């Protein structure tokens, strides 16, 4: 008998009543199960409408291979019972991924996912390794963890602070004005212990999600652009983002040729040396050596990391692997020529590396994991 929660989820998908998260989950199952189906006879409830909708959502996959949903549903039911997401394919596909599992078990243990890790550097050069048992810090009269326990007594002078996460680390900070920032792995944020009354400025290298509080000036006549508000600016290499109160994500890693600013809520203005443009919710600004452009995007593709997920939709192999390398602290080597594989996945970031790699293998990739001089090295090739 089909598990009732699975049936209800697919019914909601068919009628367009499921949440965005549920939709991505169903479509991710579809993507991953395509290569896992066999000829086992299963009951034949009529889910043709669901299948048609899945196919309409995934036209590129439809040209490659057709999934029979009557075979898919029992797998979906098993997943809902287990309470897992895409990483379940490690369980169902372990016999087909023997080589991968053998490679992984050569290590003493699997590679754990990233966790709450960061370092706070003071203006005088002192650094504090922040507790992994806390998710973030709050900057006010004192620097504290989110539960109120002290990190450092604050001095009366305004000083610059630097919060940095390593590979495999993430952290949150509440700035002096109440704005919140989530730092992804391998990211640095510089900010003052107190903002002045004219503007709020921070500097970013890496990736961070901002939830900025709008602040009014005491004297509205001194406002910039007659807004009466204190602007908040994020400076990255080659770009400045100015906001008055909004939610957005900036990806500005030095290894990437472009800076991506994705607006979730509010309004921001991007400035480069040669151009300015304004973003509306659901738009992304891309800054590179050729200037500034903007596009409509699915914002959650670029913010899912903050909520604990990898979300790949037509991602290139190198883009997906680079994200894994930052989160699992890996060195990467590519073996042979890689074709233009599109990767589709929605995977929890708290899973061990082996589970994620087994899920991604269904895209036609092959992974080997070795340890060289105390470092985990991931070798990527195609089947």
What's the rounded Cα separation, in Å, for the pair 188 and 186?
7
Q: What is the pLDDT along the chain (383 residues), one digit of tens a residue?
A: 345 566 677 777 767 777 877 777 776 666 555 444 444 443 444 445 545 555 555 544 433 333 344 444 444 444 433 333 333 333 233 333 333 333 333 344 588 899 999 999 988 888 889 988 888 888 877 788 888 888 876 554 668 999 999 999 999 999 999 999 999 999 999 999 889 888 999 999 999 999 999 887 765 454 444 457 889 999 999 899 999 779 999 999 999 999 999 999 999 999 988 889 999 999 999 998 888 999 999 999 999 999 999 999 888 999 999 999 999 999 999 998 888 888 888 889 999 999 899 888 888 889 999 988 889 999 999 87
Helix or strand (DSSP H, E) at 128 = strand 127-129
Looking at residue 28, what is its pLDDT? Answer: 67
Q: Say how many Å lie between the first and final Cα of the chain, rounded.
A: 36
Token digits for 116?
A: 């709450």
Q: Which letter, b or e, does each residue of 108-129 get, where b requires 16 or more Cβ atoms within 10 Å of its Cβ?
A: eeebebbebbbbbbbeeeeeee
What one-character-per-residue DSSP string does 163-205 give?
A: EEE-TTEEEEEE-TTS-EEEE-SSEEEEEESS--SS-EEEEEE
| CA 255 – CA 205 distance, rounded (Å) | 11
Q: Tell me, what's the pLDDT at 29?
A: 66
Domains of the chain plus CATH, in order, are: 4-83 (no CATH), 115-302 (2.60.120.1440), 311-382 (3.55.50.30)
Residue-level pLDDT at 266: 94
Q: At what angle do helices 48-57 and 69-82 cross, to 10 degrees?
A: 80
Q: What pLDDT does 155 receive? A: 52
Contact 311, 262 (CB under 8 A): no
62 DSSP assignment: H
Element (H, E) at 101: helix 98-104
CA proximity to 381, closest of 371, 368, 372: 368
Per-residue pLDDT at 334: 92
Q: Inter-axis angle of helices 317-328 and 353-360, to 10 degrees?
A: 170
15 Cβ neighbours under 8 A, 6+ residues apart: none
- CA 283, CA 302: separation in Å to the nearest integer? 11
Q: Please tell me the distance from the alpha carbon of residue 213 to that of residue 211, in angstroms, as a whole number.
A: 7
Helices first, then strands: H and E counts in the chain? 10, 24
Contact 355, 90 (CB under 8 A): yes
The pTM of the full predicted model, rounded to 2 decimals, is 0.72
Per-residue pLDDT at 361: 86
Tell me the residue length of the chain.
383
328's tokens: 């699992």
Structure tokens at 250: 């900036």
Cα 311 to chain center, whole Å?
7
Query: What integer pLDDT is reported at residue 139 of this predicted model?
Result: 84
In this structure, what token pair is assigned to residue 229? Answer: 């508000």
């Amino acid at each position: 008998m089909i598990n009732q929660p699975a049936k209800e989820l697919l019914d909601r998908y068919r009628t367009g009543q499921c949440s965005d998260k549920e939709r991505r989950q169903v479509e991710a199952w579809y993507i991953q199960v395509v290569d896992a189906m066999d000829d086992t006879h299963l009951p034949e409830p009529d889910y043709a409408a669901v299948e048609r909708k899945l196919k309409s959502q995934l036209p590129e996959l439809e040209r490659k291979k057709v999934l029979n949903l009557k075979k898919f549903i029992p797998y979906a039911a098993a997943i809902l019972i287990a309470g897992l997401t895409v990483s379940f394919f490690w369980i169902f596909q372990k016999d087909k991924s023997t080589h991968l599992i053998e490679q992984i078990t050569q290590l003493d243990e699997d590679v754990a996912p990233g966790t709450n890790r960061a370092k706070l550097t003071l203006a005088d050069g002192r650094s504090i390794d922040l507790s992994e048992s806390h998710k973030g810090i709050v900057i006010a009269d004192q620097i504290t963890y989110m539960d109120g326990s002290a990190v450092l007594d604050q001095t009366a002078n305004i000083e610059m602070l630097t919060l940095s996460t390593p590979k495999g680390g993430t952290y949150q900070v509440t700035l002096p004005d109440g704005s919140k920032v989530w730092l992804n792995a391998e990211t640095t944020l510089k900010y003052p212990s107190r903002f002045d009354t004219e503007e709020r400025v921070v500097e970013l290298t890496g990736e961070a999600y901002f939830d900025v509080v709008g602040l009014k000036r005491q004297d509205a006549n001194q406002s910039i652009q007659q807004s009466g508000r204190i602007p908040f600016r994020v400076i990255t290499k080659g770009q400045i983002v100015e906001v008055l109160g909004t939610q957005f994500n900036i990806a500005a890693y030095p290894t990437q040729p472009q800076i991506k600013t994705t607006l979730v809520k509010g309004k921001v203005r991007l400035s480069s040396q040669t151009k300015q443009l304004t973003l509306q919710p659901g738009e992304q600004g891309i800054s590179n050596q050729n200037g500034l452009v903007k596009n409509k995007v699915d914002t959650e593709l670029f913010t899912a990391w903050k909520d604990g997920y990898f979300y790949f939709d037509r991602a290139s192999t190198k883009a997906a692997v680079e994200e894994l390398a930052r989160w699992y602290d890996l060195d990467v080597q590519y073996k042979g020529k890689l074709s233009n594989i599109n990767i589709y996945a929605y995977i929890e970031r708290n899973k061990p590396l082996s589970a994620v790699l087994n899920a991604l293998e269904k895209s036609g990739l092959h992974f080997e994991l070795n340890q060289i001089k105390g470092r985990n090295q991931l070798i990527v090739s195609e089947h």
